Amino acid sequence: MKNWIELSSLEYREVWDRIYDKFNFKPSVSNFPSFEVPSPFITYDTSLYSNGSVDIDTYNEIYSELEEKSLLVFQERIQKNEYLYALDWHHPCYWINPHLEFLKNEFDEWTVPIYPDGDYYFFIHKNFEWGLLGHPWEKTITIFGIELIKGFEEHQPRMFQKILRQG
């Protein structure tokens, strides 16, 4: 089985139309939040790890842990033959299976990074039951859906220490 399967043009349009509609998505560099997710949700402030706020070794360690724990949580919520969305706003988007190999790019990141360091990065269940939404300008990661919240409570990354909002 293949991982990081690029969405077709039709799939791309349909998923982003759904995001704009379902989450009232209004991208902005200054008006926050830019989306409305269903309850329950938790929004974590990740600003401590932006713009060189911590030394590079600490950042790399915390970033790697976020990838590892996110992958573990996704694996626990997805069947071995299922895929979820990995979305990068205005860039190629993908179907991914967390049980398959997660190759990294030349920057040692997933094809769609988990940490929003310059664009919106979303990882969403195929039926929109849960998701992880990264906001690059607010410097937050929002987790929605009870199952995903429970998973991240069980395997909490160090980056998820400061709650900004919840509902």
**pLDDT by 10s per residue, the chain, length 167:** 689 999 999 999 999 999 999 999 999 999 999 999 999 999 999 998 876 778 889 989 999 999 999 999 999 999 999 999 999 999 999 999 999 998 888 888 899 999 998 899 999 999 999 999 999 999 999 999 999 999 999 999 999 999 999 99
| Confidence at residue 62, expressed as pLDDT on a 0 to 100 scale | 94
| Confidence at residue 53, expressed as pLDDT on a 0 to 100 scale | 74
pTM of the predicted model as reported, rounded to 2 decimal places: 0.95
| Confidence at residue 91, expressed as pLDDT on a 0 to 100 scale | 97
CA atoms within 13 A of residue 15's CA, in its CB half-sphere? 26
Separation between Cα atoms, residue 103 and residue 105, nearest integer Å: 7
Among residues 156, 96, 105, the alpha carbon closest in space to that of 123 is found at 96
- DSSP annotation of 42: E
